[in-house]
Structure 1
Amino acid sequence: MAKQVKPYVILIIGAGSTGLALAAGFQKNGIKALVFEKDASLTEKSRDWNMGLHWGAAVLRGLLPDTAWERLQSVQVDPNVPTKVLDSMYFLNSQTGERIGAAEIDNFYRLKRSKLRALLAENLGIRFEKKLAAIEYSADRTTVTAKFEDGSSETGTMIVGADGARSVTRNLIVGLDSSASCRIPYAATFAQASFTQEQAIQLRSFHALYLAGIHPDGYFSFFGMQDATDAEKPETWIFFFYISFGSTLEEQDKMAQWSNAEKLRLVKQKARQYADPWKSAYEWLPDDHPVWYMGFTDWDPGAEGHHWDNHGGLVTLAGDAAHTMTYQRGQGLNHSITDASKIVKAVKSVISREKSQEEAIKIYEEEMICRAGNEVRMSTQNTAMLHNWEQVLQSPLMRRGLKKD
């Protein structure tokens, strides 16, 4: 039997959805976990988005107390629309508006990220303004210390880096040369906006929650709800939509320097070649409406040079920090929640003395690297195919929808 280390304290770096779900899972199982977040609060950054939870729903339920799971409906982009046992996401030829396909989805929760984080964070006692600077390991391989930029430190039994696609934890354990996300020659311009009552009703008539569009010119697009809390006031609804397109790294570097008005102008030009709802939504945006632009990246934990030393199970990665993937196939949150569940299971096996910490974390990492690494590669392939009209019908999204591979 493996020797149990007491007290058992998990240090979680990052208060995103992964880190908070992980902490909630530990709390549910009576295991002490401390969450460290570099920002001053969960709401410090104004940018918000939404995420799809489907095959990972049962996994998340296992991490949450029943009282929190029962309120999951309240954190959906529209809490007034019950989650269907079976729903469909429609794919349109976004130039003509013709439907070219549909993906059936079981129990598809469309969650507003800020609301999900607030739900997961309840009673966790997050430590804010803690930016990781270094990691130190004890000589006897029983403890690990997180050192922060403010000069403070915390020692625990394990560190889990759940600090996102630009993970500092990943930088520290993989090395700067290999830890940087791989840039992909695709980019997107995102918008969130409210409209007049009449306009909002018209835009939502295409689908209550989400719609995907594929353009023959090599563009992919999404249109859906971000917040429809007040069902009786369409003018308060917030829509979330984007157009993505092929863009070389040189073009991305140039566009990153553009003004907001220039980025909006370009995407409005593309939207003129679209059918509704995209055409009208972009046309109705004022020329000074804020948008954000982002080049696509990935990071495959199974790629050559991406292996890390976990120092006998003292440090590991989860979520986007472990497997940054493109988002058109909607798999990121589901894999991240699965990571959290498997880490909780691993730690429980250590505390119960069924496994050593080194063995338990090795098992977690081997499974995660295979499962999520495969999805990173599939999602990147999917992104390329969705931007190629000749190949789009063979893309994983069109063939498999949002189902787990």
Structure 2
Amino acid sequence: MVISTDSTGPGASVPGSAKPVVLIIGAGVSGLLLAQHLKREGISYRIFERDADLATRGAGWGLTLHWSLTALQSLLPSGLAERVCDESSVDRWADRRGELSRFPFFDLDSGELKTQTPGAVKSARVRVTRQRLRKLLAEGIEIEWGKTLREFHTSDNGTVSVSFEDGTSCIGTLLVACDGGQSRVRRALFPDQTNLMLQLPVRTMGVKMLLTAEQIEPIRKLDLFFLQGASPTNDSFMYISDTEHIRIVPITRHGAQAGAAAAVADLAITPSRGGNFLDVPGNQADSDPDVFSCQLHCSWPYPGSGAPTDVPATNKDRCELLRAFAKTWSEPFRSLVLNNVYADTEIKRLDVLDWAPPIGLHTNGQVVLMGDAFHLMSMYRGEGANHAIVDVLDFATHVVPLLALNRDDFSSKTGSQAHTHQSQGSDFRQALRQALDAYEGAVVSRARPGVLASRRACLDAHAFSRLFGEAATGVSPLLSKREMMLQFDDESTELIK
């Protein structure tokens, strides 16, 4: 599979070439948000996604949106902007009641509350499901599904051509790569910087559980949205989050001891869902949920010496390892795992990778990166999606005003009417490249410290003494305030106890 840039590549012009066409690779959060904004501004675009549909990858993990919320709403069209936080929230009922999220941090051995954030309502911080957020952002967007990128070429006439594994191709003015942390476009643009992709020295597993209100109540008493903790004994780290609350229509009622699994087994089909078994918030918006979909993430240090514990190869062994960690934890964390995770419970391995864009990084020609493709970061500060959203805002600030002008409008505005069509195109390409440079400079200055702070947060999460013991030096990025602009340049990757 080849992806390349080639200044002498296909030279066909864009149909109606006076009007820019943006090609977006990837229908994740940043790609869909960019498409929404371009559509609102009247700029032509096409968006391509390798998956077959929005449901291909399942619900995904939850996201915390905080300092990007204002940007998110400012980029969306009227109507959608007002709906996005409410309809993508993991707990619309709690949000509507004005419940505060505090994100407490616990000593897993003793159960002691070590710290928590100031309480925040959904207008300041909201926990959302990735799937529901993407579904909202996809409204009115014509996504071209099943499009796996094969290669791209940039040409001297100011076009970029893209071809896909299914044999189709297209031409546009600008390629925006929103193709994720393993971005093929990034690897093609910067083949000499693949070593900057780091696997951090921790190992992680994730599990999702369907729980009744009774089963999850001990956890929800601690926080309705999200909690985390670490063990001073074995330096394991854990977080728990609701990912979806499900309203069900049972054929028969089971006893409290039957649990969520039995209840879900006897659901009536809800006609409004077209035959689906689960009726999610939006159809039963004013009802409390019967079943809570909960995600638990467990990770532990993986030092470069000794005999570190890796993620087991089989699901059965992963279950045994997770239960072994849980046996060292206090209540209610211990029972949450021991009472709900069994040998047949699917437990996924999650690799923790990051890629910090170097200072001064710039692409060439008519190709640019966005989101995880530009700055992959670990989840330990919960800022990856926030940076991806503000990437779109920076693009809207620096690049969209130029794209909103067709070539003739640009020539008129810059006083170059007397130029030839070729020179007008050259002027536009130069102005576009300057705008892209400004965008990239803004993103690197903001997101590079974010990647490095998230890296440090990951390492500290697995060294309890650095958080609360004698080795602690100030407030760790794991626990410090989430901010858009940080001053952080620690590039170390070593676990320090």
Scaled by the length of structure 2, the TM-score of the pair is 0.75
Q: Is the contact made by 2:108 and 2:231 (CA closer than 8 Å) also made in structure 1? A: yes
Distance 1:340 1:96 in 2: 43
* Structure 1 residue 125, shift from structure 2 partner: 0.4
Which SS does the other structure have where 1:378 is aligned? helix
Count how many residue pairs are aligned between Structure 1 and Structure 2.
Answer: 396
Q: How many Å apart are 1:213 and its aligned residue?
A: 0.8
Q: Offset of 1:43 from its aligned partner?
A: 0.7
Alignment partner of 1:150 is 2:147: no
- Contact persistence 1:77–1:228 (CA under 8 A): yes
Aligned partners of 1:337 and 1:227: how far apart in 2? 22
d(CA) in 1 for partners of 2:443 and 2:26?
19
Q: Say if 2:460 and 2:478, in contact at 8 Å, map to a contact too.
A: no
Q: 2 CA distance for matches of 1:18 and 1:156?
A: 19
CA distance in 1: counterparts of 2:192 and 2:363, whole angstroms: 14
- C-alpha RMSD of matched pairs (Å): 2.5
Q: What does 1:226-265 align with in structure 2 at a 5 Å threshold?
A: 226-230=243-247, 235-248=290-303, 255=310, 258-265=313-320
SS of corresponding position for 1:59: helix
Identity of aligned residues (%): 27
How much has 1:170 moved relative to structure 2? 1.0
Distance 1:253 1:236, change over 3 A: same
Match of 2:142 in 1: 125
Tell me the SS of whatever aligns to 2:79.
helix
Deviation for aligned residue 1:159 = 0.5
**Aligned position for 1:326:** 378
Amino acid across the alignment from 1:81: A
SS of the equivalent of 2:106 reads strand
Letter aligned with residue 261 of structure 1 = K
CA–CA distance in structure 1, aligned partners of residues 100 and 333 of structure 2: 26
Letter of the 1:270 counterpart = F
Q: CA deviation at 1:47?
A: 5.1
Distance of 1:155 and 1:123 partners within structure 2: 22
Q: How does 1:312-391 map to 2 (within 5 A)?
A: 314-351=366-403, 352=405, 353=410, 356-391=431-466
Distance 1:51 1:102, change over 3 A: same
- Distance in 1, matches of 2:167 and 2:191, equals 22
CA drift at 1:344: 2.4
What is the CA deviation profile of residues 50-82 of structure 1, one whole-angstrom value per residue up to 9, with x for unaligned ones?
Answer: 101001000000111121122220111112122
Residue 346 of structure 1, CA deviation: 2.5
Change (3 A) 1:49 1:279: same
Aligned to 1:97: 111
The residue type equivalent to 2:295 in the other structure is F
1:360-398 CA distance string (max 9 Å, x none): 000000111111011101110111112111111431132
Q: Is the 8 A contact 2:101 2:225 kept in 1?
A: no
Deviating beyond 6 angstroms after TM superposition, the runs of 4 or more aligned structure 1 residues are: 249-254
Secondary structure, aligned partner of 1:262: helix
Q: Return 5+ residue gaps in structure 2 as ranges.
A: 1-15, 248-285, 415-427, 469-474, 487-497
Structure 1 position 197, deviation (Å): 4.1
Determine if the alignment matches structure 1 residue 395 to structure 2 residue 476: yes
- Cα 1:349–1:85, aligned 2, differ >3 Å: closer, same or farther? farther
Counterpart selection for 1:286 from 334, 342, 361: 342
TM-score (norm: length of structure 1): 0.91
| Bigger RCO (CA 8 Å, 6+ sep) | 1
Q: Secondary structure at the residue paired with 1:371?
A: helix
Cα distance per residue 1:317-338 (max 9 Å; x no partner): 0100100001111111111000
Residue matched to 2:332: 277
> Distance between the aligned counterparts of 2:393 and 2:328, measured in 1?
44
Query: Which stretch has the larger CA shift, 319-328 or 245-254?
Result: 245-254
Shift of 1:210: 0.8
1:81 to 94, 119, 123: 94
For the pair 1:54 / 2:106, whether they are aligned, the reply is: no
1:115-151 CA distances to partner (integer Å, 9 max, x unpaired)?
00000001110001111111111122x1111111111
CA distance in 1, matches of 2:308, 2:369: 29
Structure label with greater radius of gyration: 2
Larger displacement relative to structure 2 (98-107 or 164-173): 98-107
Is the CA contact (8 Å cut-off) linking 2:399 and 2:439 kept in structure 1? no
Unaligned runs of 5+ in 1: none
Q: For residue 58 of structure 1, what is the amino acid of its counterpart? A: T
Flag the 1:309–1:232 CA change in 2: closer, same or farther, 3 A.
Answer: closer
- Residue 144 of structure 2 aligns to a residue whose secondary structure is coil
Map of 1:137 onto structure 2: 154
> Which has a greater percent of strand?
1
